[in-house]
Amino acid sequence: MTDVPNSPVYSKNVLEFLTVANDYCLMMAKINNTTKSFLIDYLQKVCPLLYVKASLLPDIKILNPEANERFVTEEEWESLFNEIRKKFSKDDEFWYINNASEHNDSIKASLAESFTDIYQDLKDFLLLYQKNSMDAKENAVGEVKLAFEKRWGFRLVNAHKVLHYIIMAGNQQDNSFEIPELF
């Protein structure tokens, strides 16, 4: 199948999401050169953009699901996770209420895990989208939209809430803080 310029994979919403996702992945790739306060400031601003842009992605009919690929290795994931965890140190872990469960269970989560999982889905999207085939682009958009709806959208929202508390408590430096009761 040849590329069709008016295909939904080339829509304004996909291209804008591609831009924000690329910026996020580039930032995560140079996390070693950032401070905790810079990282928090960046994430506070990019999280809402990622959420809005992902929520505007079009529904894509995937004609060839076999063209889907994953690229981020376990080693790459673990390396980024460890760097983010090191940046957040004691502020990394938080609790949230799982409203999807029957009992509204409290779940322990990690900023590092959340942001690394988001990175993995976005990086896989970017690398698959760059392939020179319509099937790859359709799979890239379809898969990242599904992953947003089922996985990383929730993680993004929960992690962003914690960032808000860190910033508003004035604890963006390399010290820890106590998260107030969230619910």
pLDDT at position 1 over 50? no
Count CA within 13 A, CB hemisphere, residue 32. 3
pLDDT computed for residue 47 by the predictor: 98
Cα–Cα distance, 29 to 156 (Å, whole number):
18
pLDDT confidence bin for 180, thresholds 50/70/90: very low
Q: Estimate to the nearest angstrom the gap between the alpha carbon of 77 and the chain centroid.
A: 13
Cα–Cα distance, 140 to 109 (Å, whole number):
27
pLDDT at position 97 over 90? no
Average pLDDT over residues 60-65: 93
Q: Which of 71-80, 123-132, 164-173 has the lowest mean pLDDT?
A: 164-173
- The residue among 144 and 95 whose pLDDT is bigger is 144
Average pLDDT over residues 57-68: 95
Which of 73, 57, 74 shows the shortest CA–CA distance to 137?
57
Q: Residues 79, 123: contact at Cβ < 8 Å?
A: no
In order of their start, the domains of the chain are: 8-60+70-89+111-168 (1.20.120.1550)
Longest dimension (CA), the chain: 55
Compute the C-alpha angle 97/100/103, nearest 5°: 65
Q: Is the dihedral of CA 109, 151, 128, 15 positive or negative?
A: negative
DSSP code at position 182: -
Cα–Cα distance, 132 to 138 (Å, whole number):
11
Q: Residues 123, 110: contact at Cβ < 8 Å?
A: no
pTM of the model: 0.88
Compute the C-alpha angle 11/143/31, nearest 5°: 90
pLDDT computed for residue 157 by the predictor: 95
Question: Three-class SS of residue 80?
Answer: helix
Mean pLDDT of the chain: 90
| pLDDT per residue as tens digits for the range 69-95 | 999 999 999 999 999 999 999 999 998
| pLDDT per residue as tens digits for the range 29-39 | 999 999 999 99
pLDDT computed for residue 98 by the predictor: 76
Average pLDDT over residues 35-45: 96
